[in-house]
């Protein structure tokens, strides 16, 4: 072994322009190393040999698990790298290679499973976020006075002739009407939903469209004109005779 | 059995357990000395030396021949610097004074010079540990591990001229840091 001051230190021994000489640092290092002639504690080699003998195989999955348990990402990645290398190393014992292969396969499968689960969980959420009209319609459907029904969502390709066009700002109210009005037919809800989706597709055109009269109001007007109202028969309001002002007609007096 | 480093290296590369046992018995003092020079504590140096051999045993698959002593020295230096970095900031690169004095084998001298030597050792350890890579590695391998520049070049896979330049720049940075230290 060569002396620590030989070799590449020649460049460092040039005189410095200011401050410490260039050879001050090497001199300090040499003084330090020459003064630190320490001996290891007795029995250290035997302890190391004992520890190595009883150590698990180099690509043992326990190393990887212990790194994961300590949340040591870098260490875990290094263990995985060791295992990958051990698989490819033909000099490694068969057991070691099998262990390494099992570890890499388990980690790969676990990573894939986590990825698929994440995609399945997050995918619909992202889809919902990307379709705000559908979400709002859902909110309206589950509003007060509405019972959950397994009515399928209308297809965007379905004909839109049965529903009036609803402008963009009226979407929330339309959904409220769909849920809270006296018209509870599933077909009507579907038609409103479809109209909402249509309004999302062409907002510029529908913004100019005058807001149509709601279905319930239309029916009320029609009943006023005909002198009848279509209420809930359960409350005894069906076909109650009304006058032209919409008030109930007084019953004829008995004579 | 293993008459020279070459045959030992071949046996190690073939994962020969007997060869590794021989390597441990032969190089424990050397590895312990490197760890002590970087860490400055007997207990920590012992732990680092054990860990060095464990890491070497696990990394036998990556050993592609060459000088096994230099290979061990690099692992020991890395492990020791890692431990030095992991110390708490309060204890960073500081050593119990008596630990350094006891571990340093000196002739019978006055206590004042021993204390000064321990203080100087602490300063050296700290400024070397503060060097950036790759200067720290080259300086540590050159001075703490007593490796030749050719060995360092072969070990790190860098050209000899690069190693020389890195050593020069590392020593220059070391000198600047020493200048900034309050005397």
CB contact under 8 A, B167 and A1: no
Q: What is the mean pLDDT of chain B?
A: 78
CB neighbourhood size of B18 (10 A): 10
More confident residue, A171 or B50: B50
Contacts A41 to B, Cβ<8 Å? 42, 46
Per-residue pLDDT tens digits for A125-158: 888 887 766 555 555 555 444 444 444 555 545 4
Query: What's residue B25's pLDDT?
Result: 84
**pLDDT tops 70 at residue B51:** yes
Q: Which element (helix H / strand E) includes B175? A: helix B160-180
* Per-residue burial over A206-232, b = 16 or more CB atoms within 10 Å of its CB, e = otherwise: beeeeebebbeeebbeebeeeeebbee
CB contact under 8 A, B15 and A93: yes
CB contact under 8 A, A55 and B164: no
CB contact under 8 A, B121 and A36: yes
Which token pair is B156?
């790190």
pLDDT more than 90, % of chain A: 2
Out of A7-16, A74-83, B63-72, B95-104, least confident range? A7-16
CB contact under 8 A, B61 and A35: no
CB contact under 8 A, B61 and A86: yes
Shortest distance, CA B90 to any CA of chain A (angstroms): 23
Contacts B168 to A, Cβ<8 Å? 8, 11-12
- How far apart CA B122 and CA B103 sit, in angstroms, is 13
B102 interfacial to chain A (CB closer than 8 Å): no
Q: Which of A108-117, A171-180, A227-236, B54-63 has the highest mean pLDDT?
A: A108-117
**pLDDT tops 70 at residue A4:** no
- CB-nearest to A52 from B20, B106, B179 is B20
- How far apart CA B149 and CA B138 sit, in angstroms, is 9
Average pLDDT of the segment spanning A236-249: 48
pLDDT more than 70, % of chain B: 81
Collapsed DSSP state (helix, strand, coil) of residue B130: coil
Query: What's residue A245's pLDDT?
Result: 54
**pLDDT tops 80 at residue B166:** yes
Per-residue pLDDT tens digits for B76-132: 998 888 888 887 554 545 555 445 444 454 555 677 777 777 777 788 888 888 888
In A, minimum Cα distance to B58 occurs at: A58
Average pLDDT of the segment spanning B54-83: 83
The dihedral sign for the CA sequence A196, A198, A204, A207? negative
- CB-nearest to B171 from A19, A25, A35 is A25
- How far apart CA A144 and CA A180 sit, in angstroms, is 7
Collapsed DSSP state (helix, strand, coil) of residue A242: strand
B34 interfacial to chain A (CB closer than 8 Å): no
**pLDDT tops 50 at residue A176:** no
Number of H helices, E strands in chain A: 11, 0
**pLDDT tops 50 at residue B153:** yes
Beta bridge pairs of residue A242: A248
Query: What's residue A134's pLDDT?
Result: 56
- How far apart CA A41 and CA A35 sit, in angstroms, is 18
* pTM, two decimal places: 0.54
Which token pair is A244?
């032209």
Shortest distance, CA A90 to any CA of chain B (angstroms): 10
Which token pair is B95?
């050593």
Contacts A48 to B, Cβ<8 Å? 24, 28, 49-50, 53-54
Query: What's residue A113's pLDDT?
Result: 92
Per-residue pLDDT tens digits for A44-82: 888 888 887 777 666 677 788 888 888 878 878 888 887
Query: What's residue A133's pLDDT?
Result: 61
Average pLDDT of the segment spanning B152-169: 88
A87-90 long-range Cβ contacts below 8 angstroms, 24+ apart? A89/B61
Q: What torsion do the CA atoms of B73, B78, B80, B84 make, to the nearest 10 degrees?
A: 160
More confident residue, B20 or B62: B20
Residue of A18, A40, A46, A83 best to disrupt the B interface, most CBs of B under 10 A: A40
Average pLDDT of the segment spanning A17-43: 72
């Amino acid at each position: 072994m060569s002396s620590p001051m030989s070799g590449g230190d020649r460049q460092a021994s040039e005189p410095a322009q200011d401050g410490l000489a260039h050879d001050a640092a090497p001199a300090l290092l040499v003084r330090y190393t020459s003064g630190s002639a320490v001996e290891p504690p007795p029995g250290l080699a035997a302890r190391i040999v004992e520890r190595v003998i009883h150590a698990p195989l180099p690509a043992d999955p326990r190393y990887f698990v212990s790194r994961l348990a300590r949340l040591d990402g870098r260490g875990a990645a290094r263990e995985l790298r060791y295992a990958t290398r051990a698989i490819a190393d033909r000099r490694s014992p068969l057991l070691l290679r099998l262990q390494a292969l099992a570890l890499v396969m388990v980690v790969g499968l676990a990573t894939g499973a986590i990825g698929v689960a994440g995609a399945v969980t997050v995918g619909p959420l992202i889809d919902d976020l990307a379709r705000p009209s559908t979400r709002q319609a859902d909110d309206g459907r589950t509003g007060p006075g509405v019972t959950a029904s397994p009515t399928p969502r209308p297809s965007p390709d379905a004909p839109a002739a049965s529903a009036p066009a609803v402008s963009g700002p009226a979407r929330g109210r339309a959904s409220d009407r769909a849920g809270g009005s006296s018209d509870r037919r599933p077909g009507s809800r579907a038609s409103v939903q479809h109209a909402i989706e249509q309004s999302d597709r062409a907002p510029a055109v529908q913004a100019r469209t005058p807001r149509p009269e709601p279905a319930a109001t239309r029916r009320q007007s029609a009943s006023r004109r005909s002198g009848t109202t279509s209420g809930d028969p359960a409350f005894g309001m069906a076909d109650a005779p009304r006058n032209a002002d919409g008030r109930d007609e007084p019953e004829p007096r008995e004579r | 059995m293993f008459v020279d480093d070459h045959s030992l290296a071949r046996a190690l590369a073939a994962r020969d357990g007997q060869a590794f046992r021989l390597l441990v018995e032969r190089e424990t003092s050397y590895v312990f000395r490197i760890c002590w020079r970087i860490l400055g504590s007997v207990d920590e140096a012992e732990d680092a030396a054990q860990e060095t051999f464990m890491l070497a045993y696990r990394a036998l698959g990556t050993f592609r021949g060459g000088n096994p002593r230099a290979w061990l020295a690099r692992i020991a230096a890395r492990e020791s610097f890692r431990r030095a970095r992991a110390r708490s900031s309060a204890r960073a690169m500081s050593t119990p004074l008596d630990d350094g004095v006891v571990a340093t084998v000196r002739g019978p001298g006055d206590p004042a010079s021993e204390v000064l030597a321990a203080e100087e050792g602490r300063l050296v350890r700290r400024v070397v540990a503060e060097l950036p890579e790759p200067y720290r590695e080259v300086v540590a391998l050159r001075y703490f591990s007593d490796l030749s520049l050719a060995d360092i070049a072969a070990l790190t896979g860098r050209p000899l001229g690069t190693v020389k330049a890195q050593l020069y720049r590392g020593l220059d940075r070391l000198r600047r840091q020493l200048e900034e230290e309050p005397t």
